[in-house]
Structure 1
Amino acid sequence: MDELMGFITGNKNRQKLLALLGSKGEMDAARIAKNMHVVKISVDKILAELVERELITENGGLYGLTALGTDVERSIHAI
């Protein structure tokens, strides 16, 4: 868990994306990019990293937090 928290907190956009999904729920990549004010290609890269680490899932183009992602997001938010 500490390694995942370090991975997330080491990049502001990763942290913002996780917090966004934690507060707003499932979203598609274009909407995430718009909310974060970041180009979609950067968001796509971050999404791929978070899916690979099983922090988020993709279902029909919508991304949402996994149980692990929710735990990490809450732990970071509590800091």
Structure 2
Amino acid sequence: VALSGLKASCASSMLPLPELEECVMDVSVRKNCGYPGISPQECAARKCCFSDTIVNVPWCFFPISSSLPPSLQCIS
């Protein structure tokens, strides 16, 4: 698949986020990207990471490299 015209960070965001290194972090640093009860599909649509294995922490959270909300990422 040709990725010409995309920034490297945008190209990597097309991968399933739970598989990216950007989603591997200590739960204490997770920044919420969703709302209580968000589905994995809704979280992925926001270009965020999803892991529901630990209670009382955000399950849908921004990737490590993300400093902007998903709606503002990858904008030229």
* TM-score, normalised with respect to structure 2: 0.32
* TM-score, normalised with respect to structure 1: 0.31
Give the structure with higher Rg (CA): 2
Greater helix proportion: 1
